[in-house]
Chains A and B, each alone.
Chain A
């Protein structure tokens, strides 16, 4: 506010320091989880909790693997046996006395998340760009009603829609399949994408198209060669938003998938290790899972407001 800005600089500095402190305090839960994801087996359960320790990669190794504990009293591995172990097997052996059996479930869940998120984002953008162009450039009978209809599908409580979708998918054999979840996420994101993309396309002057059509372009060529390149920033921003929504989605995935197509969100909080709930591995999984969303947020920061208000506020 202007009033504050004109106050003496001492107040300014105090406020800036205050903002920095608030930001730091705000991020403490996140920092704690990152910190925990590097804690060695014995440090994790210490009280008072330790912030500084010799970091270990073991939690990350544990989230990627399925292991068995050496039974108590079993002989220590000989030097030769130790030499045969890989570096990560050795870390786990020394830290929690476990033997790595095979790759765990995390990589396949992560892959499912990637496949479903990327497929549904691509499909959403494809359909939404077409629809948004038509809504932006043409007079369509009942256009406002249609647009409102598209938006309102987003406001429904998911479960009301989910019960019949669940029955429908069971009948069609789409439960626990990548295709089923992809279709659901596409429908879920479409309303959002159409609204935001329409906003972006509205901003492109119609004169470009008219000029192109005078030059003999067909309507579709104009769309493809003029509008799509012009709207690329908007399309990219919308795609990133759709990616984040699908990546983070929990409710649909929790109900529609069990194992084959299960994504990370419904899996990570409920997986159990042989030694009870493995908090370190859970923290490591959480860190690995939020990285893409965090990176995209940083890329998106200029368009965030526009996205969260469905394109209503353009800033």
Chain B
């Protein structure tokens, strides 16, 4: 799969074997070592911690802090109704924001299929939100939502709804900001997909006098589908972990929507239940892997 035409063949490699082997090691090792040190080693460490009651608040004393208790921690977490309530809130967030992004992104991409002067410029403008800092986007929306002088309620003719901190609305406040920020991501992928559809397919359909709808469902959609799925996978994974946008809008604690990621942060770094936090982190990780795997199966089927 990764073999490339311009790979150097084995005879060439033998010819310069010694120096090349040293070179490869010198080139690749720093990267691998850094990743091992900052990513892989911590990953195993937190797996071990997740079976213990370790708290980072107190110094390490073997047998007491951490004390290992097998899978008890996981059982306790998974039977905690609060975790499930938060899981459902997170799922709501993911479904609402990702479906909003997919619909808007693909819709705008379809409109942008018309060629006109300044199309590039418009696309660039639309993409801007995506490259801002999520927490600053959250802050910007917090200003925009402000019930006393913000523009959001005023423009939509709504009353003084406190989007950012009212528990009835704060989830939607984050969803709207998330959609605003990440629709450009779907838009870019959809544009790439639409741009890659060979024109002769449409020309052939034209000869057959196919209707617009027919062309859309039989050519456009199947051809773009794999890329839309890629966008769906990326966005679902990211939305599941969302933390910064909400932190910008509602902060954490009583005013924040009940998302798993916020609970994770509170457990690990506010109440300092490091072991519990690690276990929760692993539960979230497994959930993300499970969900993305389902999507990837669909993606592979769509590609065939």
A residues touching B (Cβ–Cβ < 8 Å)? 1-6, 12, 15-16, 18-20, 22-23, 26-30, 32-33, 36, 44-49, 127-128, 130-131, 133-140, 143-144, 146-147, 149-150, 153, 155-168, 170, 183-184, 186-188, 190-191, 194, 202, 204-206, 218-220, 244, 247-251, 254-255, 264-266, 268-270, 279, 282-283, 286, 289-290, 293-294, 296-298, 301, 304-305, 308-309, 312-313, 315
| CB atoms of A163 and B46 under 8 A apart | yes
- Report chain B residues within 8 Å CB of A33: 140, 143-144
Q: Chain A residues with Cβ under 8 A from B227's Cβ? A: 313
With A and B bound together, what is the CA distance between A301 and B95 in angstroms?
Answer: 29
For B23, the chain A residues whose CB sits under 8 A away are: 134, 219-220
A73 to B19, CA, bound (A): 81
Hey, what's the 0/1 contact readout for B24-64 against A, CB within 8 Å counting as 1?
10111011101101111111011001000000100000000
Contact A167 B192, beta carbon cutoff 8 Å: no
Interface pick from B69-77, B84-92, B118-126, B165-173: B118-126
What is the CB-to-nearest-CB distance from B106 to chain A, in angstroms, rounded to a whole number? Answer: 12
- Among B31, B46, B116, B139, the one with the most A-chain Cβ atoms within 10 Å of its Cβ is B31
User: Which one of B10, B116, B123, B144 lies within 8 Å of A29 (CB-CB)?
Assistant: B144
Main DSSP-derived SS at the B contact region = helix
Within the complex, the shortest CB–CB distance from A301 to chain B, in Å, comes to 5
| B190-226 interface (Cβ within 8 A of A) | 191-192, 194-195, 199, 202-203, 206, 212, 215-216, 220
Ranked nearest first, the 3 interchain pairs of A and B with the lowest CB-CB distance are A248-B133, A206-B6, A164-B42
The CA-CA distance from A272 to B39 in the complex, in Å, is: 35
Q: Say yes or no: A157 contacts B241, CB within 8 Å.
A: yes
Q: Which of A190, A297, A315 contacts B131 (CB 8 A)?
A: A297
Instruction: For residue A216, give the distance in angstroms from its CB to the closest CB of chain B.
Output: 13
Q: Would A301 and B31 count as touching, CB distance under 8 A?
A: no
For B49, what are the chain A residues with a Cβ–Cβ distance below 8 Å? 163-164
Measured in the bound complex, the distance between the Cα atoms of B119 and A301 in whole Å is: 13
Is the pair B34, A156 in contact by a Cβ cutoff of 8 Å? no
Q: Which of B31, B38, B134, B155 contacts A248, CB < 8 Å?
A: B134
Name the residue on A nearest B215 (C-beta).
A3
Contacts of B134 in A (CB 8 A): 248, 250
| Contacting residues, chain A, for B203 (C-beta < 8 A) | 2
Does the CB pair A49–B1 fall under 8 Å? no
Task: Verify A134–B10 contact, CB threshold 8 A.
Answer: no
Within the assembled complex, what's the spacing in Å between the Cα atoms of A203 and B240? 35
- Residues on A with beta carbons closer than 8 Å to the beta carbon of B130: 297
CB-contact partner of B277 in A159, A183, A247, under 8 A? A159
| A149 contact set on B, CB distance < 8 A | 35
Which residues from B are CB-within-8-Å of A286?
136, 139-140, 143
Q: Is B96 an interface residue (CB 8 A)?
A: no
Closest to B43 in A: A161
B114→A130 contact, CB < 8 A: no
Q: Kindly identify, within residues 135 to 166 of chain B, every residue whose CB is under 8 Å from any CB belonging to chain A.
A: 135-136, 138-144, 146, 148-151, 154-155
Beta-carbon contact of B111 and A22 below 8 Å:
yes
Contacts A1-B202, A45-B148, A313-B227 given; does A29 touch B2 at CB 8 Å:
no
**Any chain A CB within 8 A of the CB of B93?**
no
CB of B282 within 8 Å of the partner chain: yes
- CB–CB A131/B28 < 8 A: yes
Which residues in A have their C-beta under 8 angstroms from that of B43? Answer: 156, 160-161, 164
Task: List, sorted by A's number, 29 A–B pairs whose CB atoms are closer than 8 Å.
Answer: A1-B113, A5-B115, A15-B111, A22-B108, A23-B122, A28-B151, A32-B151, A36-B143, A127-B31, A134-B24, A134-B27, A137-B7, A138-B20, A149-B35, A150-B31, A159-B264, A159-B281, A164-B41, A166-B269, A167-B56, A190-B34, A202-B4, A247-B133, A265-B135, A269-B139, A270-B251, A286-B139, A286-B140, A301-B127
Assess the A1–B111 pair: CB atoms within 8 A. no
Is residue B237 within 8 Å, beta carbon to beta carbon, of the partner chain?
Answer: yes
Which of A30, A47, A301 lies in contact with B148, CB distance below 8 A?
A47
- Interface-central residue, A140, A265, A268, A282, by most chain B CB under 10 Å: A265
Residue with the greatest number of chain A CB neighbours at <10 A, chosen from B28, B244, B247: B28
